[in-house]
Amino acid sequence: MGNLVVVGTQWGDEGKGKIVDILARDADVVVRYQGGSNAGHTVVNQRATFVFHLIPSGILYRGTLCIIGNGVVVDPEALIAEMDRLQAKGVKIGKNFVISQRAHLILPYHKAIEKASEQSRGSRRIGTTGRGIGPSYADKMARIGIRVGDLLNPSLFRRKLEENLVEINWFLERLYKVDGFQLEKVFQQYMGYAERLKGYIADTVTLLNKAIDEKRTVLFEGAQGTHLDVDFGTYPYVTSSSAVAGGACTGTGVGPTKIDAVLGVTKAYTTRVGSGPFPTELTDAVGSGLQERGKEFGATTGRPRRCGWFDGVLVRYATKVNGLASLAVTKLDVLDGCKELRVCTGYRHEGRLYREMPADLQVLTECQPVYETLRGWSSPTTGMTSYKKLPAEAKRYLNRVEELAGCPIDIISTGSKRDQTIILRNPLTVRSRKRQC
């Protein structure tokens, strides 16, 4: 068995939660390596529908250790609420769950700063969730962040909080004209969280490396997607962390030589939440149809997702920057009944044809997609578990997705439920798998 990173190849919401849930059955450890409670992974099994924001979906399997890595920013209020919801549904959370002491905390002032900043941007809004993710990461890089481990040392936590509030309250009150925060109130609130979470906080770097040395299988779970990565995404319309596969190393303390392969998850079409360029976006009835059939509304925010055709340029770029070994294609069934389908093979801007992802945001915003048209299929694919039984047109479509992405498909999802899946190859079953693209 190998150690596998699962990463989104588009702008997030690709269905990574379901894919991780399926693969977690064969994993000993599942670790989340970046992002915060702005992410939402939905898993549907025979018991119920579960929505995860911080806790890895592997928590649904007995005997699987689930870890929140150091690269995640943790809102303790959101985490405790998620734990309570899962436990109310019969999910056990005990020694099978660990939080890195090096993970950074989201504090109330992070949310206030993000909301005020976003509001002040007017038409230039990025489309953040207002959950304090960006400001928490900013504090981390500015070396004034407060870590989860600091909750275990009340005097240290209080000193750091007091020092931060001097500057932050001035900033909030003078620049944004909003109320600041009282030291004692925030301190007592977080000491309450500390009492609840103290039994789960540990040195996860040691835990993870020990597990790998013992030949246990580790699944690295990313949030968001490649094109929301702070370095490689459609900057500045991105998240604030390393959502690409490389973030699995910096976000967990596991070296790159210990990662065996990377699986990219892509929808059979494309979606995006929030602001930013989207070359293949459909604002017509076709786009509305994809949104309705695909139930394209955010698991965390409920915001409607913008929908468009499959973008081969977008996914091929993800293949490169993540070093993908294979793909999992989700929501194939949403395309059922479309008489014709389009796939984007390039972008055209001011007479120039782009076959590769442009770094220039203006080019990406103004470009026109170059499409190739494929025949759709009329017979339903929902719930299919056999590749052979797929309509011939669906197979041709998937073959073209492979060609455009430059990467072979291992998994095809044909519905929201766990068993509505075609597994051509299990990417966890071959150790040190060679890259095939």
What are the structure tokens assigned to 60, written together?
Answer: 């649904």
Distance CA 135, CA 423 (A): 40
Is-contact 90 122, C-beta < 8 A?
Answer: no
Nearest to 15 by CA among 263, 324, 320, 387: 263
Cis peptide before 236, with omega less than 30 degrees from 0? Answer: yes
Give long-range contacts, CB 8 A cutoff, 24+ apart: 414-417: 414/332, 414/333, 414/381, 414/382, 414/383, 414/384, 414/385, 415/333, 415/382, 415/383, 416/18, 416/42, 416/44, 417/44, 417/45, 417/383
For the packed helices 133-141 and 108-120, what is the interaxial angle rounded to 10 degrees?
110
| Residues 6 or more apart in contact with residue 187 via CB below 8 angstroms | 157, 158, 161
Report the relative pairing of strands 97-100 and 261-267 from DSSP bridges: unpaired
Distance CA 19, CA 238 (A): 23
Report the relative pairing of strands 29-32 and 65-68 from DSSP bridges: parallel
| Residues 6 or more apart in contact with residue 426 via CB below 8 angstroms | 23, 26, 410
Count of CB atoms within 10 A of residue 63's CB? Answer: 7
Active-site annotation, residues = 13, 41
For the packed helices 108-120 and 183-197, what is the interaxial angle rounded to 10 degrees?
120
Rg (CA), the chain: 22
